Amino acid sequence: MGGRLGIKIDVDTLAGLSKGVPALLKMLGERGIKASFYVSLGPDNSGRAVFRVFRQQGFLEKMLRTRAPSVYGFPTMLYGTLLPAPMIGAAAPGVLPSLAAAGHEVGLHGYDHVRWHDRLLFMTREEVDQEIKQAQATFADIMGAPATSFAAPGWQASETSRAALAAAGFLYASDTRGTQPFFPRFGAQVSPLLEIPTTLPTLDELLGLSDCSVEDFFALILSRLENGTPQVLTIHAELEGGPFQEAFARFLDLCLARGVTFFRLADWAAQLLEQQKNIPTALVFQGRLPGRAGTVSRQGVPEEQT
Ligand SMILES: [Zn+2]
């Protein structure tokens, strides 16, 4: 059967980093799977970030039915609202080196997740630079060198953010939803920074749709791997590393039984950049996705490079 899958793990919160990530590390390690982790290192405003996920239509109801709210716990829900926001980076020194030691990729998922998600499209270059600088300073303190990959919070990308990421020296970014790797175009301006988009829907999106169960979701993902085209699945440390652990572990076992192979996005990026002229450009636009509130940055139709 085969199929190729890159697992992209977004870590948005302190609970995700301190509980979800170790659970995923163990699960992946037991199966010999290497994945790509992207971590927010700034303030944990999960009181606001998490409510956004819960607000996805129908998601809260399914979470309650699957005994899910226990992952976040009551205090987490209040961070950045009634309680001050703790810094996620404070828990990172104990976690990030263990990811790298196990052979996983570790990149950045922004600094202040909520600010990037809500404000990016209105931010100045200086403000975007500041988010990246703060995240990189914390990352380099812990890892001894800056991160080489970046995944935008909430799939929010702009001409400004791409210029800032390119100038900051990242190898590639994974900021958008799309179908295949590309160089993003904003109007006439093409970003020189390779983009590897998330190509598959996410659990929280599809669970919000009325007829979809957790099992249906993973069955759909498996069917999307069948044609052999490399796919990128975004999961959340707070969900697949939390209440949906068992379902995700079953999914990984099914993948392995079917001969699916796993890749880290950084390795794919390095491989693609060896043949840079074969990478298409594509317009990036803000668009809606089924089951998700608000808009995300999406890949338009791929165009051959001239
Ligand atoms: Zn996120």
With tokens 């700034």, the residue in question is: 42
pLDDT band at 52 (very low <50, low <70, confident <90, very high): low
Which pLDDT score, from 0 to 100, does residue 126 have?
A: 98
**Angle at which helices 159-167 and 125-143 cross, to 10°:** 40
Distance CA 283, CA 209 (A): 28
Is the per-residue pLDDT at 266 higher than 90?
Answer: yes
Q: Around Cβ 189, how many Cβ atoms within 10 Å? A: 10
User: What's the average model confidence in pLDDT over 203-213?
Assistant: 85
Question: Given this model, what pLDDT does residue 193 score?
Answer: 98
Confidence tier at 218 by pLDDT (50, 70, 90): very high
Q: Please, where are the H alpha helices in the chain?
A: 14-15, 21-31, 46-55, 59-65, 73-78, 96-101, 113-119, 125-143, 159-167, 203-207, 214-224, 245-257, 265-273
Give the Å distance between the CA of 154 and the centre of ligand 1: 5
55 pLDDT above the threshold of 90 = no
Instruction: Find the 152 Cα to ligand 1 centroid distance in Å.
Output: 7
Q: For residue 277, how far is its CA from the centre of ligand 1 (angstroms)?
A: 31
Only one residue has tokens 């239509």, namely: 57
The rounded mean pLDDT for the chain is: 90
The answer to whether residue 78 scores a pLDDT higher than 90 is no
* pTM for the model: 0.92
Residue 91 confidence (pLDDT): 85
Cα(63) to ligand 1 centroid in Å equals 18
For ligand 1, the distance from its centroid to the CA atom of residue 234, given in whole angstroms, is 9
Residue 296 CA to ligand 1 centre (angstroms): 12
Annotate 87-119 with b (16+ C-beta within 10 A) or e (fewer). ebbebbeebbeebeeeebbbbbbbbbbbbbbbe
Strands lying side by side in the sheet with 296-299: 189-190, 183-186, 281-287, 296-299
Q: What is the DSSP annotation of 221-249?
A: HHHHTTT---EEEEEETTTTTTTTHHHHH
Which residues have CB atoms below 5 A from the ion given as ligand 1? 10, 12, 153
Task: Return the half-sphere exposure (C-beta side, CA atoms, 13 A cut-off) of residue 116.
Answer: 33
75/120: higher pLDDT: 120
Using CA atoms, how far apart are residues 106 and 197, in angstroms rounded to an integer? 17
